[in-house]
């Protein structure tokens, strides 16, 4: 699988988890963070670091 395809899949996973119920979204976000941190795609790793720092804010947005 190419880097562009992996980037697209990670982007889509992140987009879809925002519409999930909180419990499932929390688990999917943890899964996404793990996959993104191991992707070796510089832009995705940079995004992963930002999301990791803002995870509580992201989850709070899902609950509201």
Cα distance between residue 24 and residue 29, in whole Å:
8
Closest CA to 50 of 63, 27, 62, 33: 33
Q: What is the pLDDT of residues 30-58, one digit of tens each?
A: 999 999 999 999 999 999 999 999 999 98
Task: Dig out the tokens for 64 from the structure.
Answer: 């509201």
Cα distance between residue 13 and residue 28, in whole Å:
8
Residue position matching structure tokens 């992140």: 14
Mean of the per-residue pLDDT values of the chain: 91
Residue position matching structure tokens 């899964």: 31
């Amino acid at each position: 699988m190419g880097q562009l395809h992996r980037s697209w899949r990670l982007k889509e996973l992140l987009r879809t988890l925002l519409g999930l119920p909180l419990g499932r979204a929390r688990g999917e976000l943890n899964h996404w963070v793990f996959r993104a941190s191991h992707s070796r795609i510089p832009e995705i790793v940079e995004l992963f670091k930002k999301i990791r720092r803002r995870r509580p804010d992201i989850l709070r947005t899902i609950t509201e």
